[in-house]
Amino acid sequence: MEQEFSGTVIEWRGPAPYYFVPVPEQECVALRAAGSAASYGWGMLPIRARIGSAEWKTSLWPKDGGYLLPLKDAVRKPGGLDAGDAVDVRLTFDAPPRQQKRRPAERVHVPRPTGSREPVTAEQLTIVPANQATWEDLQAVFGTTGDPARCWCQRFRMLPKESWDSEGPEELSARLRDQTACGDRKARATSGLVAYLDGEPVGWCAVAPRADHPRLLRDFRIPWLGRNEDKTDISVWAVTCFVIRVGYRRRGVGRALARAAAGIARERGARAVEGYPDFVDGGSVGTLAMFADAGFAEVSRPGNRRAVMRIDF
């Protein structure tokens, strides 16, 4: 479904300024009728938006019975847009994930590295946005067995009633490939970072707007318990997943990725970035020490084994 309309940029003056284009009422009627199957919570609708030559993925925000199109700085600033400017917008609905037909992901043979156990310094690593890595390199990090090869970093991104088993690794890996835009160096948005050591891909870190994670918003109580947070605030980013390749674990790769995640969040306009380490088993969410070394400060401890770590820029 596509919608085209003209609108005026407005500014929201919250803790950090943000810009939107209100969707006209006539278009909102059609969006409400078609959006029930696509909404992933709070009435937010995943769409692709286009203004001029800029195209990006985002979600429409429900507001007073209508919708707002968030206009991120990466689109607004190059276009010289400010509050009060008139823009022509085209919206395209993304099909709900359950309806998308994916081609089975190609399975590649990934040799098990036999590297040393010596610590790795940040200077030895090259860490790049995921779209500057190849999909084959990311597959090598995730491997072919174990939880990473089942989940494909989709734990917090799945929709209601979805699970590893219901969706399967082929579908989940295809979603990650879309989210990362691996190999597309011109991509305007990408989710995550890939770490290299001497040319070998050795680690992955997921970092993206907190509101891009439906299950984190809906089912996971850790970020919200005892805090008054706006769950739909896309200026707050979250570090949600680490995957370190077999043979390179416990050598400092995760710590370097956590530092780099804070840097890319700030570079892309976040006003804050959070992590949710596990004291008992850092696993895929990271450890307290990893985040502390990266400059994150503890802001809450909801329970005996989890903390909320945060940097405000």
- 182 and 286 in a single domain? The answer is yes
Strands of 86-93's sheet in order across: 2-8, 86-93, 45-51, 54-63, 66-71, 17-22, 10-13
CA 82/CA 17 separation, integer angstroms: 11
240: CB partners within 8 A, 6+ apart: 153, 155, 156, 206, 207, 208, 213, 216, 275, 276, 285
- Specify the higher pLDDT residue, 149 or 41: 149
Of 49, 77, 94, the position where a domain reaches its end is 94
User: How many CB atoms sit inside 10 A of residue 110's CB?
Assistant: 18
Residue 301 lies in a domain: yes
Section 284-313 average pLDDT? 92
Residue type, 270: A
- Exposure b/e, 119-131, CB count within 10 A at least 16 = b: ebeeebbebbbbb
Residue 19 lies in a domain: yes
Section 202-212 average pLDDT? 94
pLDDT classification of 100: cutoffs 50, 70, 90: very low
- 193 and 296 in a single domain? The answer is yes
pLDDT of 150 higher than 70? yes
Cβ(249)–Cβ(116) below 8 Å: no
- 142 and 178 in a single domain? The answer is yes
Cβ(236)–Cβ(312) below 8 Å: no
Strand partners of residue 48: 57, 92
Instruction: Give the domain CATH number at 72.
Output: 2.40.30.100
Of 75, 94, 113, the position where a domain reaches its end is 94
Of the candidates 56, 29, 27, the residue with the CA atom closest to the CA atom of residue 212: 56
pLDDT of 145 higher than 80? yes
pLDDT classification of 114: cutoffs 50, 70, 90: very low
Residue 157 lies in a domain: yes
- 14 and 80 in a single domain? The answer is yes
Section 32-60 average pLDDT? 71
pLDDT of 107 higher than 50? no
Looking at mean pLDDT, say which of 3-17, 46-60, 220-234 comes out highest: 220-234
**pLDDT > 90: percent of the chain:** 43
Tell me what pLDDT residue 14 has: 46
Q: Kindly report the average pLDDT of the chain as a whole number.
A: 84
Looking at mean pLDDT, say which of 33-42, 91-100, 114-123, 214-223 comes out highest: 214-223
Per the structure, the complete domain to which residue 76 belongs is given by 2-94
36: CB partners within 8 A, 6+ apart: none
CA 30/CA 92 separation, integer angstroms: 12
Section 129-154 average pLDDT? 92
Residue with tokens 């990473």: 148
Cβ(18)–Cβ(11) below 8 Å: yes
Strand partners of residue 253: none
- 300 and 188 in a single domain? The answer is yes
pLDDT of 43 higher than 80? no
Tell me what pLDDT residue 71 has: 84
Which of 16-25, 44-53, 123-132, 293-302 shows the lowest per-residue confidence on average (mean pLDDT)? 16-25
Instruction: Give the domain CATH number at 179.
Output: 3.40.630.30
Chain segment 181-191, per-residue pLDDT in tens: 888 887 767 78
Of the candidates 19, 26, 20, the residue with the CA atom closest to the CA atom of residue 5: 26
User: How many CB atoms sit inside 10 A of residue 51's CB?
Assistant: 20
**What total number of domains does the chain contain?**
2
Tell me what pLDDT residue 94 has: 57
CA 262/CA 164 separation, integer angstroms: 29
Strands 66-71 and 86-93: unpaired
- 80 and 138 in a single domain? The answer is no
Q: Whole-model pTM?
A: 0.65
Section 192-200 average pLDDT? 92
Residue 108 lies in a domain: no
Tell me what pLDDT residue 2 has: 83
- 87 and 170 in a single domain? The answer is no
